[in-house]
Amino acid sequence: MTITNPSPKARPSAFAARRQFIQLGLATLGAAWLGTWLQSRLFPATNSTQEAQPVSFPLSELPVGGTKALTYGAVPVLVVRTRESLRAFSLVCTHLGCTVEWQANKKEFYCACHDGRYDEFGDVLAGPPPIPLEQIPVSMEGDTVTVGEV
């Protein structure tokens, strides 16, 4: 019985292996980009506030120190009233889009997905969220509060 080594020409060279690796990497990146692009075209984001209609409610529904939940466009929003301010925040976490919850006792927004925390102004306190919560414009005319661009 004879054992033969494959000839050096039958084995891929280091250069060819590296080229295959790079081609595979580029193909993977291209497929990922194409998938993301197709998803954005076929299933437009439903958490956009860009085309949302303003939402109004009487100020009496929101006492000082209280909150009011509503939906602005398709976005869950919480309006927070303090003695000094009236602010509205998107409840969509800026990390990966989970819905955050308001913890009134701590005056914080909490995202249970990855322990993200935001303060009462929407600024990041802890966890992976990269930027503050989106603030939605709020205006008041007489006793009517309006959330969103008027």
Site residues (vs ligand FES, CB under 6 A): 93, 95-96, 98, 111, 113-114, 116, 127-129
Is 61 or 101 the residue whose CB approaches ligand FES more closely?
101
Amino acid at 131: I
Burial class (CB in 10 A: 0-12, 13-18, 19+), 67: middle
Which residues pair with residue 116 across a beta bridge?
Answer: 111
Report how far residue 82's alpha carbon sits from residue 138's, in angstroms, rounded to the nearest whole number: 14
Is 55 or 111 the residue whose CB approaches ligand FES more closely?
111
Q: Give the CB-nearest residue to ligand FES.
A: 116
Minimum distance of ligand FES from residue 147's CB (angstroms): 22
HSE value, Cβ hemisphere, 13 Å, CA-based, for 108: 13
Which residues, at least 6 apart from 66, have a Cβ–Cβ distance to it below 8 Å? 81
Minimum distance of ligand FES from residue 74's CB (angstroms): 17
Is 22 or 112 the residue whose CB approaches ligand FES more closely?
112
Minimum distance of ligand FES from residue 131's CB (angstroms): 12
Is 59 or 98 the residue whose CB approaches ligand FES more closely?
98
